[in-house]
Amino acid sequence: MRLVLEKRAERSTRMALLSPLIAIVLTLVTGGIIFALRGLDPLAALYVYFIEPLTSSWSIEQLIVKATPLALIGAALGVSYLANVWNIGAEGQLTAGAIFGSIIPVYFPEMQTPLTLVLMLALGIIGGMAFGAIPAFLKNRFSANEILTSLMLVYVAQLILDWLVRGPWRDPQGYNFPKTISFTNWQTLPSFQVLPPSIGPLYVNLGAILAVLAAISLAFLMGRTLKGFELRVQGVAPRAGRFAGFSREKTVWFCFLLSGGLAGLAGICEVMSTVGQLQPGISPGYGFTAIIVAFLGRLNPIGALVAAFALAISYLGGESAQVALGISDKTARVFQGILLFYILACDSLILYRFKLIGLSAAPVESRA
């Protein structure tokens, strides 16, 4: 027997919608098998992993906290990938954003006005953009592969962060721990109550609101504007893009500045909320997980918003599974990797359909 794919005349809209769901189901099945192999009750384990995080308003708040950077970065990465610009250095741009934004509390710790908040967020975006601008420039000027350059810069950004918090930016009262002073008041993100206590009080911070706004604006950009059209054309048919008078260089700039800027925003939001100071390891690989978010969300900004929740569950589930079942929290990353594989495989079904060909049947077919 041999498996072959046959090209469909048109994209299958049904498969485009179903493919992420199929991928998630397959991942759950695979997860169940892995748990069973480890001698755990697969259903109970899957419950702890994927359902429990949704049961209390506290853990929903946690989910939103984890989903925020994933959605911010994933939405922008989806736009870039759609335009065939491969920024995989979002983790580095996130770090750069966190560093830039922290300039204010480190050098002007006394500055405590609403402007502080705005400046820090703006500097975060600028930092991410500046770091994203490097691969964009190298791509346009020297045609250096943006995948490799953006990835190399992740290590560079993390080493710069490491140097800063161990060296010039270290908190003098911090008992030699590698961290800056703690951020307070206007140096942290405000929270808002979005659901009243009667339903179960739900607080989200400014970052989550920014993520939703970013996703909606990007969806609008891609669906309605000529700019979005331009990006989509360049992704699938570069020659047609040139014929339409669209500039490839501008697209590379646009995608890197956009995704770098939003990754930088995600970075500064992390240090202004969850982390509360600049230190090494501000992100558990959000910049890389966001790649999975982008694909699971079908490279669609609203899709990324939904996908960010799915992956946030895997982070949170990983933590609770470690406590409840003694499963390593590293299982989460394996699930994320498996999920991406399934998504990519299922995506083939949008353009192709399966056909099983029995080897023994082939000659019969040709002679019948």
Partner 1 sequence: MNDQLLSIILTIITASTPLLLASIGELVVERSGVLNLGVEGMMAVGAVCGFGAALTTGSPLIGILAAIAAGVLLSLLFGFLTLTMISNQVATGLALTLLGLGLAGLIGESFVGQPGVKLQNLDIPVLSAIPFIGPILFGQDLLVYVSLAIVAGVSYVLFRTKTGLIIRAVGDSHQSAHALGYSVIGVRYLAVMFGGGCAGLAGGYLSLAYTPQWVENMTSGRGWIALALVVFASWLPWRLAIGAYLFGTITILGFSLQAIGIGIPSQLLSSLPYIVTILALVVISGNRALTRANTPACLGQPFVPDR
Partner 2 sequence: MEYLLEALNVTKIFGTLKANDNVTLKVKPGEIHAFLGENGAGKSTLVKMIYGALQPTSGEFRWMGSPVTIANPAAARKLGIGMVFQHFSLFDALSVAENIALAMPGDFDMAKLSEKISRVSKDYGLPLEPTAIVADLSVGERQRIEIVRCLLQEPKLLIMDEPTAVLTPQEADQLFLTLGRLAREGCAVIYISHRLEEVKRLCHNATILRHGKVVANVDPTKETASSLAKLMVGGEIHVVRAARKDKGGAVRLKLEGLNLHADGPFAVELKNISLDVRAGEVVAIAGVAGNGQSEFFDAVSGERSLPRDAMLLIDGKPMGYHGVNARRNAGAAFVPEERLGHGAVPGFRLSENVILTRHSSDEALVKSGMMQKNGASGVSERVIKAFDVRKGKPDPEARALSGGNLQKFVVGRELDRKPGVLVVNQPTWGVDAGASATIRQAIIDLARQGSAVLVISQDLDEIFEVADRIAVISRGQLSEAYPSSELSAEKIGLLMAGEHETREMAHAARA
Nearer to partner 1 (CB atom), residue 82 or residue 305 = 82
Q: Which own/partner pairs from 166-172 qualify as long-range (CB within 8 Å, at least 24 positions apart)?
A: 169/102, 169/106, 169/278, 171/277
Residue for token pair 């808002």: 192
Do 60 and 54 meet the contact criterion of CB atoms below 8 Å apart? Answer: yes
Rounded least distance, CB 149 to partner 1, Å: 5
Show contacts with partner 1 in window 108-167 (CB under 8 A).
Answer: 138, 141-145, 147-149, 151-153, 155-156, 159-160, 162-163, 166-167
**Residue 224 lies near partner 2 (rule: CB under 8 A):** yes
**Binding partner of residue 368 among partner 1, partner 2, none, CB cut-off 5 to 8 Å per kind:** partner 2
Q: Residue 16 and residue 19: Cα distance in Å, rounded?
A: 6
Show contacts with partner 2 in window 225-244 (CB under 8 A).
Answer: 225-227, 229, 232-233, 236-237, 239-240, 242-244
Q: Residue 180 and residue 182: Cα distance in Å, rounded?
A: 6
Rounded least distance, CB 171 to partner 1, Å: 18
Three-state DSSP state, 37: helix
192 - beta bridge partners?
204
203 - beta bridge partners?
193
Of 1, 3, 9, 356, which one interacts with partner 2 (CB under 8 A)?
9
**Residue 213 lies near partner 2 (rule: CB under 8 A):** no
Of 7, 172, 175, 368, which one interacts with partner 1 (CB under 8 A)?
7
Three-state DSSP state, 269: helix
Site size toward partner 2, by CB under 8 A: 24
Q: Residue 79 and residue 77: Cα distance in Å, rounded?
A: 5
Residue for token pair 């240090």: 271
Of 35, 254, 295, 309, which one interacts with partner 1 (CB under 8 A)?
295
Q: Residue 352 and residue 329: Cα distance in Å, rounded?
A: 36
Do 224 and 58 meet the contact criterion of CB atoms below 8 Å apart? Answer: no
**Residue 144 lies near partner 2 (rule: CB under 8 A):** no
Nearer to partner 2 (CB atom), residue 72 or residue 82 = 82
Q: Residue 299 and residue 296: Cα distance in Å, rounded?
A: 7
**Binding partner of residue 159 among partner 2, partner 1, none, CB cut-off 5 to 8 Å per kind:** partner 1
Do 216 and 146 meet the contact criterion of CB atoms below 8 Å apart? Answer: no
Rounded least distance, CB 82 to partner 2, Å: 12
Show contacts with partner 1 in window 309-338 (CB under 8 A).
Answer: 328, 330-334, 336-338
Q: Residue 86 and residue 83: Cα distance in Å, rounded?
A: 9
End-to-end CA distance of the chain: 19
Of 168, 172, 197, 245, which one interacts with partner 2 (CB under 8 A)?
245
**Binding partner of residue 348 among partner 2, partner 1, none, CB cut-off 5 to 8 Å per kind:** partner 1
By CB under 8 A, name the binding residues for partner 2.
Answer: 9-11, 224-227, 229, 232-233, 236-237, 239-240, 242-245, 362-363, 365-368
By CB under 8 A, name the binding residues for partner 1.
Answer: 3-7, 81, 86, 88, 138, 141-145, 147-149, 151-153, 155-156, 159-160, 162-163, 166-167, 288-289, 291-292, 295, 328, 330-334, 336-338, 340-341, 344-345, 347-348, 351-352
